[in-house]
């Protein structure tokens, strides 16, 4: 186990290097201009001043030199300075990541729990009305774009019913010190719900398939013959066998979760990492963009790593395999 983790860490390092090189080259090939990002649209800057800037930010050097100096300072823990916000990239990422993490974490737990339960219910009642409803629901959800779902929820719950605010993470016009926890939760529910809906269908359908396989197996027939009830069968045989695909999926789903949070945050004007990445990308803020990409890939990688480790913990049969 220790060995496989070391191998994975090495893989992660190479992944990050490769990713940063790729990001750098893609940005270099795009028409994005970091000097534009810093000095902004309406400017009276003279060519001499722009030249000074290029020197200051080091963008007058060749792309390879730029990359090496960036990587060098990164190794010392310096992610650089955001051109747009004009403050250290790491500070920005830290403040945004917490917001996003709460959002993604809640959505992740909700979608996992609901998805798994729905899958099991559907499998146990295979072919009956409830199974058909769950299947129909899952197919509909899986083909629904998340931002559209977000807009629908927004219109129904915020505009028509007025149960929830239309956006932002805190109430309008309330000072930071007076924002109550309940206010934050209130603002948090719609985006979290939007995001969790995305994951439910996947988990539910995979769990259903796995559960059906299990229910058709010989040991279940034997258990039935012994007179175990449905609940006993699920508890003693079904649960551990069927949770595995759900866990792998759910951890491997970190990537999609992150992509989804970007859209959900846009729809609800929720200031997380995703919406910041969109801004950084659209406005050409290179250091911030690369920083967020690295952090998020670390996040996705960690998800996959955890999935692998958990698989082994839950299923002793997989211990031998790398």
Partner 1 sequence: MLPKERGFIPKRALSYFILALSAVMLLAGCTSSSPAKESASSSQSPSDSQSPNAVKDELILAVGKTDVGMFDPKKGWGTHAQIRLTHSSLLTIDSELNFIGDLAKSYTVSDDALTWTFPLRDDVKFSNGEQVTAEDVKFTYEMLKEDGIKFDLSFVESIGIAEGNTIVITLHEPRSTFVSQLTEIGIVPKAHYDDNYSQNPIGSGPYKVVQYNDGQQIIMEYNPYWYGTVPQFKKLTLLLLAEDAALAAAKAGQADIVYVPPTFAEQKVEGMTLRAFESIDSRGIMLPAVPSGAKGKTNDKDVEVGNDVTSDLAIRQALNIGLDRQKLLDVAIGGYGQKAYCLCDNMPWFNEETIVNDGDIEGAKKILTDGGWSDSDQDGIVEKNGRKAEFNMFFSSSDQLRTDLSLAVADQASELGIKINLIGATWDEIYVKGKTAAVAWGGGRHHPHQLYTMNSSKVIDTSYHNMSNYRNPKVDEYLDKALTATTQEEANKYWKLAQWDGQTGFSGIGDAPIVWLVRVDHLYLANEKLNLGKQPVHSHGHEWALFGNITEWTWDN
Kindly state the smallest distance separating residue 264's Cβ from partner 1, in Å: 13
How far apart CA 254 and CA 304 sit, in angstroms, is 8
Nearest alpha-carbon partner for 147 in 266, 253, 278: 266
Tokens in use for 319?
A: 């211990």
When the beta carbons of 176 and 218 are compared against partner 1, the nearer one is 176
Q: What is the CB neighbour count within 10 angstroms for residue 179? A: 14
Nearest alpha-carbon partner for 286 in 6, 13, 116, 33: 33
9 binds partner 1 (CB under 8 A): no
Site string for partner 1, 247-286 (x = CB under 8 A): --------------------xxx-x---xx--x--x-x--
- The span of 11-19, 68-76, 132-140, 178-186 binding partner 1 (CB under 8 A) equals 178-186
How far apart CA 209 and CA 123 sit, in angstroms, is 7
Sign of CA dihedral 280, 284, 288, 293: positive
159 binds partner 1 (CB under 8 A): yes
Cα 120 to Cα 113, 116, 124, 210, 214, distances in angstroms? 11, 6, 6, 9, 11
98 binds partner 1 (CB under 8 A): no
When the beta carbons of 268 and 301 are compared against partner 1, the nearer one is 268
Question: What are the beta bridge partners of residue 88?
Answer: 81
Query: Which residues, numbered 228-247, are part of the site for partner 1 (CB under 8 A)?
Result: 239-240, 243
Q: How many residues belong to the site for partner 1 (CB under 8 A)?
A: 65
Query: Of 74, 89, 106, 233, which lies in the binding site for partner 1, with binding defined by CB under 8 A?
Result: 106
132 binds partner 1 (CB under 8 A): no
Helix (H, G, I), strand (E, B) or coil at 81: strand
How far apart CA 275 and CA 259 sit, in angstroms, is 10
When the beta carbons of 99 and 138 are compared against partner 1, the nearer one is 99
When the beta carbons of 46 and 62 are compared against partner 1, the nearer one is 46
Residue with tokens 């979290």: 192
Binding site for partner 1 (CB under 8 A): 30-33, 35-36, 39-47, 49-51, 54, 85-86, 106, 109-110, 112-114, 154-155, 158-159, 162-170, 172-173, 175-176, 182-183, 185-186, 189, 192, 239-240, 243, 267-269, 271, 275-276, 279, 282, 284, 313-314, 316
């Amino acid at each position: 186990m220790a060995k496989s983790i070391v191998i994975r860490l090495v893989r992660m390092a190479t992944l990050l290097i490769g990713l940063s090189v790729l990001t750098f080259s893609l940005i270099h090939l795009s028409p994005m201009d970091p000097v534009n990002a810093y000095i902004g649209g309406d400017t009276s800057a003279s060519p001499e001043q722009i030249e000074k800037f290029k020197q200051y930010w080091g963008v007058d050097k060749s792309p390879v030199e730029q990359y090496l100096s960036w990587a060098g300072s990164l190794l010392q823990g310096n992610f650089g300075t955001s051109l747009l916000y004009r403050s250290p990239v790491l500070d920005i990422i830290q403040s945004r990541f917490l917001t996003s993490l709460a959002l993604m974490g809640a959505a992740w737990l909700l979608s996992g729990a609901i998805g798994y339960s729905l899958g099991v219910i559907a499998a146990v009642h295979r072919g009956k009305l409830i199974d058909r409803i769950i299947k129909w629901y899952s197919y509909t959800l899986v083909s629904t774009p998340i931002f559209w779902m977000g807009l629908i929820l927004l219109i129904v719950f915020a505009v028509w019913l007025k149960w929830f605010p239309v956006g932002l993470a805190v109430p309008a016009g309330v000072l930071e010190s007076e924002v109550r926890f309940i206010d934050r939760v209130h603002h948090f529910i719609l985006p979290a719900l939007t995001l969790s809906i995305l994951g439910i269908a996947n988990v539910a359908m995979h769990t259903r398939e796995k559960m059906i396989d299990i229910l058709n197996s010989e040991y279940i027939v034997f258990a039935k013959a012994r007179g175990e009830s449905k609940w006993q069968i699920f508890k003693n045989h079904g649960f551990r066998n069927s949770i595995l695909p759900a866990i792998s999926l759910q951890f491997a789903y970190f990537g999609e979760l992150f992509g989804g949070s970007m859209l959900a945050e846009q729809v609800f004007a929720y200031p997380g990492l995703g919406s910041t990445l969109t801004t950084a990308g659209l406005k050409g803020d290179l250091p911030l963009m690369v920083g967020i990409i690295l952090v998020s890939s670390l996040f996705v990688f960690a998800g996959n790593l955890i999935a692998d480790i958990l698989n082994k913990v839950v299923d002793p049969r997989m211990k031998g395999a790398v």
